[in-house]
Structure 1
Amino acid sequence: MANEEMFMRERKAFRLIAEAALQPRGSPELYRRVLSEIAETLEFDIGTLRLFDEEEGVLRLEAVVGLPGGEVQDPVSLDDPEYLAARVARTKTPIFESDVSKSAELKSRMKVIEALGIESLIFWPIVGANDELLGVMNVANRTVRRLSEEDKDFFQIVAGMFAAVIERHRAMEALRESEERYRRLAESVVDIIWTVDMNLEFTYASPSIEEVLGYTSEEVMSMPLNRIMTPESLKLVEETLTESLRLEATVGRNGYESPPLVIQMFHKNGTTLWIEISRTFIRDDDDTPIGILGVARDITWRKTAEEELARAKAQAEFYNDLMAHDLANMQQGVLVSLELMLRNSELPKELRGLANRALAQTKRGVTLTGNVKKLGRLVDGEKELIKTDLYQTVMDAIEIVVDSYPDKEIKVNTNLVKGKQNVMADEFLIDLFYNLLHNAARMDQSEAVVIGVSEYPSDERGMLMLKIEDRGPGISDSMKEAILSRFDEKVKRGWGLGLTLVKQIVDRYGGKIWIEDRISGDYSQGACFVLVLPAAP
């Protein structure tokens, strides 16, 4: 396979895995697509993915490529001495054979291998961040396929990325199951009605207290609060009562609010529960507080769910950052090597051309990695929009684009004026304009690139319209529809993640985006991306 073709296929496989990581959950079809792309990259025609079921001690078939499902054993016990997948899972040691007929290691399985017509194969363990077995990936070919060290390195990287994706999906699935479990628990919780006197001694507790704390009403009525409440919570209750009485005396009963208190109480079995308390004073005929009436609700499920959500989110972000970090390091190594190679004046012309194309593709890979990470931040992050100067943002984005194309002369015509056009946006606005301007410069093959960025009157009140025009080959009407259709998908292919990121940012701001011809009726004269964003008041 030519170096450039191999590079493009590897890039496609990496992008597909990165896109899979953005999906909220894994599925056999999603994993089959990734497996198919990996097999195609290596020019193999068979593939299987088995995930480890720790509870049953077996490898379960999750995805298969190039074989009818009935021809594949499922499940496979981890202790089975006959199956290569089980051996690789036990030892966590890969098998990498260009010609199976010459391998003494595979003799015990030659009948099965020959029956399937397999000549070359790879078995690779998928191992998590803590050396935890996640599964085994296998690709095979019905003709001898010479496998190089580069192929081995590619497969090792893919397996590591795949492991991060699977772990992220499992973490999110565990979170969903936990939330459902605690939701069902919450629906069965019974609130406690209670009263105490001004010395915080119980005068009443409803029978439902036994379901929550394990104590009967009679038992609780005879207990001081320090028996059923943590010291920190008791201190909070006493301080809150003191402050409420102070406010009663200074601003009156209607001059302050009493938000619910969240405290910790002891169950009869020794465990600690989170309890939310709403309360009000019981008053005599003179409106003087003589006791407290309250409702207590067990919210342990909610607090636990919040903690698990925070842990799952942190874990998902860790896997996303880990994958982006490792990819960035690999890409940086490739960039440095290619740039050093291009400095060699004796490099043949043909190899120089290949190296330049490889350098350009690697730089696009760096952009892709950054965009994947930003997409994750867009999905998970909170939104806080502020007044933002369009002119300054566009100028900053242009400066980055110009640096990306040192061999092109890029001119931007704009009617934006510093401080005049302002929109409600955040830190991602520069990424929006960078991707659109970078796309415009990339599509224009001339050395002198001209891009238009102009404000136009908007028909929508409170909105600001911008048009970004290029002089590239343009986008046909059918292609406009296809791109816009992909804009509406959470993850798109074909045009890279740049335009997906643009659409996510526009949606974040409550805006719109569509595509027109720069010269109406003649798409070949260049494309025009139209943005409608909320104007700052």
Structure 2
Amino acid sequence: MRTGKLALLLSLIFGLSITILDAIMDAIFFYDGNILESIIFNVPVPELFFRILIVSICVVFGIALSFLIEKKEQYIIESEKKFRFLYENLPLPYQTLDEHCIIQEVNATWLQHLGYERNEVIGKSFSEILPDSEKSTFRTHFKEVWRDGQVYGRHIHLLKRDGTIIQASFDCSLSSLERSDEKVTHCVFRDMTERFAIEQQLKDAEMRADFLRDLMFHDLNNIHQGILLSLELLSRYELKSDATRLVMNTLEQMERASNLLLNVRKFIRVDSEKLHFKRIDILSILRDAIESAEARFPNKEVELKLVVNPGTYKVNADISLVDVFYNIFHNVIRLDNKTPVKIDIIVEKADGTGEIFVEVNHYGPGIPDEQKETLFKRFELIDNMGFGLGLTLAKRILDRHGASIEVGDRVKGNPSQGASFIIRIPTPE
């Protein structure tokens, strides 16, 4: 407001100055230096009109300039009020520090969060609100800001006025003050105390869950193995046909339970642990898988036909890739009651992409078309035969390898003639 009035006054003075200067010039040239004569007496009407016009124009200009300046000042004042409102009501605590870590400014959220009064912190060292154990850590982070210009997500403990300590995450940037070479750091922080406490509780809960899971798998597996051993010994005795059938059915169910526990344990590992990849020959993986599957069914004869097209078949794989083929072979052998159980395996490389194709065909009961889409979904079973979890595990392992699996018919359009599993595995570059 004062600037506008000053502009009006200066405009008026400017107009009068021009008028007086004009009168002085007239006095020098026309009135022998008599200024009073040139201003008051013998002034021609056009000259008087000119002087009045000059003063009027300057006054009008001054009024207009004063109005514009006042509007500009009002806009600046309103903008400052809005900025101050936003600054004070910023949902995050904010502070500025100079190069000596002296607190220059804080907002209301900062004061409310830490419990201090403004006069207690402005001009004080920021280290005064840090626990002793955090001061060296803060100095390291502060140097980072001045070196790199900004830092994000630096964790530090802060001391509240009531003596409690909170865990905070800081984001800071460096900038110069307006019309000055002096630099300050601008920082906001988030109180992470509750979040860190919850994260620690989750870690503790995960550790307890892992312990109980391992304990459960270990103890249940031991119980199953004991029951299996007893049933196998019992099956060697001469029993009535009904008793023998009951023992064999129980033995089969216990084997399925043991296999289920094993698959669940592998499922957890694949989902939660980091896989360790190394260069492996896919043919050795297939041999290990078929040998392990055959060993589970010593009373079944398996006729295996392996067709390998010329080429090298190295892949980057985790040892869990064996479980993919083991689960396929295990289900095929278990569900096929024919003698022998016939399995055809074809291994070849795709032209152009370099992918390795492994096709497993079997001659036992196939998979109806309406069930093919749900075959690899977690915990779904096909006619209660137990296809589900093993193949879900296989699908998950292949996903982790960037590979894929699909199921079709060995004889196209005729599911009753057996199923065909096609696995595509990328080769290392």
TM range (shorter): 0.5 to 0.7
Match of 2:362 among 470, 477, 486: 470
Separation in 2, partners of 1:370, 1:283: 63
Post-superposition offset of 1:365: 0.9
Name 1:485's counterpart in structure 2: 374
Letter of the 1:504 counterpart = R
Post-superposition offset of 1:290: 5.0
Name 1:331's counterpart in structure 2: 224
8 Å Cα contact 1:191/1:298 also seen in 2: no
Judged with a 3 Å threshold, the aligned counterparts in structure 2 of structure 1 residues 387 and 288 are, in CA distance, closer, same or farther, namely farther
Name 2:321's counterpart in structure 1: 429
Separation in 2, partners of 1:507, 1:470: 24
Higher strand share: 1
Name 1:314's counterpart in structure 2: 207
Letter of the 1:325 counterpart = H
8 Å Cα contact 2:286/2:322 also seen in 1: yes
TM-score (normalizing by structure 1) = 0.54
Post-superposition offset of 1:445: 2.5
Post-superposition offset of 1:466: 2.1
Letter of the 2:243 counterpart = L
Match of 2:247 among 350, 355, 362: 355
Q: Secondary structure at the match of 1:472?
A: coil
Identity of aligned residues (%): 30
| 1:108-147 equivalences in 2 (<5 Å) | none
Match of 2:191 among 298, 314, 317: 298
Post-superposition offset of 1:500: 2.5
8 Å Cα contact 1:190/1:211 also seen in 2: no
1:504 aligns with 2:393: no
Name 1:184's counterpart in structure 2: none
8 Å Cα contact 2:369/2:415 also seen in 1: no
Post-superposition offset of 1:335: 0.9
Judged with a 3 Å threshold, the aligned counterparts in structure 2 of structure 1 residues 297 and 523 are, in CA distance, closer, same or farther, namely closer
1:237 aligns with 2:138: yes
8 Å Cα contact 1:506/1:512 also seen in 2: yes
Letter of the 1:472 counterpart = G
Post-superposition offset of 1:431: 1.4
Post-superposition offset of 1:456: 4.7
| 1:361-380 equivalences in 2 (<5 Å) | 361-380=253-272
Separation in 1, partners of 2:199, 2:133: 21
Post-superposition offset of 1:201: 2.4
| 1:141-220 equivalences in 2 (<5 Å) | 190-220=91-121
8 Å Cα contact 2:159/2:166 also seen in 1: yes
Deviations 1:448-474, CA, capped at 9 Å, x for gaps: 333222235658946443211112233
8 Å Cα contact 1:209/1:216 also seen in 2: no
Post-superposition offset of 1:400: 1.1
Letter of the 1:506 counterpart = L
How many residues get paired? 337
Q: Secondary structure at the match of 1:293?
A: strand
Q: Secondary structure at the match of 2:410?
A: strand
Post-superposition offset of 1:263: 0.7
8 Å Cα contact 1:407/1:447 also seen in 2: no
Post-superposition offset of 1:235: 1.4
8 Å Cα contact 1:378/1:504 also seen in 2: yes
8 Å Cα contact 1:451/1:470 also seen in 2: yes
Q: Secondary structure at the match of 1:292?
A: strand
Name 1:438's counterpart in structure 2: 330
Gaps of 5+ in 2: 1-88
Match of 2:345 among 453, 474, 483: 453
8 Å Cα contact 1:391/1:419 also seen in 2: no
Letter of the 2:393 counterpart = L
Separation in 1, partners of 2:258, 2:265: 11
Judged with a 3 Å threshold, the aligned counterparts in structure 2 of structure 1 residues 453 and 271 are, in CA distance, closer, same or farther, namely farther
Separation in 2, partners of 1:367, 1:409: 21
Post-superposition offset of 1:368: 0.6
Letter of the 1:435 counterpart = N
Separation in 2, partners of 1:438, 1:198: 70
Post-superposition offset of 1:223: 4.8
Separation in 1, partners of 2:309, 2:298: 26
8 Å Cα contact 2:309/2:347 also seen in 1: no
Separation in 2, partners of 1:240, 1:418: 60
Judged with a 3 Å threshold, the aligned counterparts in structure 2 of structure 1 residues 362 and 189 are, in CA distance, closer, same or farther, namely farther
8 Å Cα contact 1:283/1:290 also seen in 2: yes
Separation in 2, partners of 1:451, 1:295: 66
Separation in 2, partners of 1:447, 1:426: 34
Letter of the 2:293 counterpart = V
Post-superposition offset of 1:396: 1.9
Post-superposition offset of 1:358: 2.1
Separation in 1, partners of 2:90, 2:230: 63
Post-superposition offset of 1:438: 0.8
Separation in 2, partners of 1:460, 1:191: 56
Name the larger-Rg structure.
Answer: 2
Greater mean alpha carbon deviation, residues 362-371 or residues 272-281: 272-281
Separation in 1, partners of 2:283, 2:108: 67
1:340 aligns with 2:233: yes
| 1:354-433 equivalences in 2 (<5 Å) | 354-381=246-273, 388-416=280-308, 420-423=312-315, 425-433=317-325
Separation in 2, partners of 1:433, 1:281: 58
Q: Secondary structure at the match of 1:485?
A: coil
Judged with a 3 Å threshold, the aligned counterparts in structure 2 of structure 1 residues 278 and 244 are, in CA distance, closer, same or farther, namely closer
Separation in 1, partners of 2:160, 2:385: 58
Q: Secondary structure at the match of 1:452?
A: strand
8 Å Cα contact 1:465/1:533 also seen in 2: yes
Deviations 1:151-183, CA, capped at 9 Å, x for gaps: xxxxxxxxxxxxxxxxxxxxxxxxxxxxxxxxx
Separation in 1, partners of 2:398, 2:422: 11
Letter of the 1:273 counterpart = I
Higher helix share: 2
Separation in 2, partners of 1:324, 1:202: 58
8 Å Cα contact 2:155/2:168 also seen in 1: yes
Separation in 2, partners of 1:353, 1:214: 78
Deviations 1:386-416, CA, capped at 9 Å, x for gaps: 6554222222212211221222343433345
CA RMSD in angstroms, aligned pairs only: 3.6
Letter of the 1:492 counterpart = E
Separation in 1, partners of 2:94, 2:197: 24
